[in-house]
Amino acid sequence: MTADRILGIETSCDETAASIVNRGTDVMSSVVASQIEIHARYGGVVPEVASRAHVETIMPVIAQSIVEAGVQDAQIEAVASTYGPGLVGALLIGVSAAKAMSLVWDVPFVAVNHLEAHLYAAFLEEPDLEMPLVILLVSGGHTMLIVMEDHLRYRVLGSTLDDAAGEAFDKVARYMDLGYPGGPVIDRLSVDGDPQAIRFPRAMASDGWDFSFSGVKTAVVNHVRKNPGVEVHDVAASFQEAVVDVLIRKARKAAQEVGAKGLCLAGGVAANSRLRERLLDVCVADGYRAFLPSRSMCTDNAAMVAAAAWWRLQADGPSPLDIGANPSLRLPVV
């Protein structure tokens, strides 16, 4: 089944987002209402607060996405929403809104996997990406090394055994009182720091495909405790370098082993300047095509949800309306 003009909805964590995308690539509107300011005072996302904010924001955000796209309700051919993984109370708001709109407009409902949506962010801007692709999916909740063999066909080579990469950025920033979310702050501070100033551990760097980031986080905490006067920019840059180093080494090795055509970044941490720079360097050195989605498409948004829905709808048809939110949903693998 096909439906070209799809309304996507995203509420899995702390962004309320809606977007209208035509044929999985043409972004007609993308509205993101971030709750960062609401959660910043707690130093992290408070699930109950997130759900309440989604309830308040969801309808205005959807309305804005329709106005900005310049379409009439009757021109929307399907409604999609992230149904997992994420915070169950937050997911339910988007899923319920999408089901209601699909009933009212009598169009298909598509339940979208948030991880698959992050992968499809790349295709929004580069529809003709050649596969196999090695994708580093790095966000606040996930760190996965994925081989995309074809559309909707994935193999997960490795994932994190403890903290996700973004989680490590957030925890280090919280410990150092730098603010929330930690990734963008550490990225900014690192510009004026020396990445070689402190040699933080690169756990499992040449050991299989999995990742572990809780050790480097503890190493930063111990270093700062023992050296209270340490230059914060150097700590930020050295920590960032340690995380990026491991991510890049494994992605490079994976690309070599699977004969990838390209290397691609996805997820919130893909907005990281140093990670983007290092990935480009590897691609230039080894001759892969590099694909770095724009920063606004790396962090949570609904255009990626509508893009993934376009592909899923063709492959699997509409989702049943009795499908619920699934907070621990996994990426469907071949």
Return residues touching ligand KG4 (CB under 6 A). Answer: 13, 139-141, 166, 169-170, 181-184, 187, 267-269, 271-272, 299-300
- Contact in structure between 142 and 115 (CB atoms under 8 Å): yes
Give the residue with the Cβ less far from ligand KG4, 107 or 235: 235
Least distance (Å) from ligand KG4 to the CB of residue 140?
3
Q: Of ligand KG4, Zn ion, none, which one sits near residue 181, judging by CB under 5 to 8 A according to partner kind?
A: ligand KG4
Cα 251 from Cα 147, distance rounded (Å) = 10
* Residue pointed to by tokens 């003009």: 5
Peptide bond into 132 cis (omega under 30): yes
Q: Is 71 left (phi over 0), alpha (psi -120 to 50) or beta?
A: beta
* Residue pointed to by tokens 């339940």: 111
Least distance (Å) from ligand KG4 to the CB of residue 180?
8
How wide is the angle at C-alpha 310 spanned by C-alphas 308 and 312, nearest 5°?
Answer: 70
In 3-state terms, what secondary structure has residue 257? helix
How wide is the angle at C-alpha 167 spanned by C-alphas 270 and 60, nearest 5°?
Answer: 70
Least distance (Å) from ligand KG4 to the CB of residue 318?
25
Q: Of ligand KG4, Zn ion, none, which one sits near residue 299, judging by CB under 5 to 8 A according to partner kind?
A: ligand KG4
Under the criterion CB under 5 A, does residue 11 sit at the interface with Zn ion? no
Single out the residue of 121, 300, 309, 325 in contact with Zn ion (rule: CB under 5 A).
Answer: 300
Among the residue ranges 153-161, 255-263, 294-302, 303-311, the one whose residues contact Zn ion (CB under 5 A): 294-302
Cα 200 from Cα 219, distance rounded (Å) = 7
In 3-state terms, what secondary structure has residue 115? helix
Give the residue with the Cβ less far from ligand KG4, 28 or 91: 91
Could you give the C-alpha distances from 242 to 27, 220, 231, in angstroms and in order?
Answer: 35, 11, 17
Interface residues for Zn ion in 119-178 (CB under 5 A)?
139
Among the residue ranges 49-57, 166-174, 218-226, 297-305, the one whose residues contact Zn ion (CB under 5 A): 297-305
Q: Of ligand KG4, Zn ion, none, which one sits near residue 182, judging by CB under 5 to 8 A according to partner kind?
A: ligand KG4
Could you give the C-alpha distances from 251 to 56, 211, 255, 257, 278, in angstroms and in order?
Answer: 40, 11, 6, 10, 11
Least distance (Å) from ligand KG4 to the CB of residue 321?
25
Give the residue with the Cβ less far from ligand KG4, 102 or 113: 113
Q: Of ligand KG4, Zn ion, none, which one sits near residue 166, judging by CB under 5 to 8 A according to partner kind?
A: ligand KG4
Least distance (Å) from ligand KG4 to the CB of residue 4?
26
Give the residue with the Cβ less far from Zn ion, 11 or 238: 11
Least distance (Å) from ligand KG4 to the CB of residue 221?
17
Q: What is the DSSP string of 26-72?
A: EEEEEEEEE-HHHHHTTTS--HHHHHHHHHHHHHHHHHHHHHHHT--
Give the residue with the Cβ less far from Zn ion, 135 or 237: 135
Could you give the C-alpha distances from 328 to 25, 141, 259, 309, in angstroms and in order?
Answer: 28, 11, 31, 19
Least distance (Å) from ligand KG4 to the CB of residue 271?
4
Q: What is the DSSP string of 136-162?
A: EEE-SS-EEEEEEEETTEEEEEEEBSS
Give the residue with the Cβ less far from Zn ion, 138 or 176: 138
- Contact in structure between 158 and 209 (CB atoms under 8 Å): yes
Give the residue with the Cβ less far from ligand KG4, 3 or 297: 297
Give the residue with the Cβ less far from ligand KG4, 102 or 143: 143
Least distance (Å) from ligand KG4 to the CB of residue 2?
28
Q: Which residues bind Zn ion (CB under 5 A)?
A: 139, 300
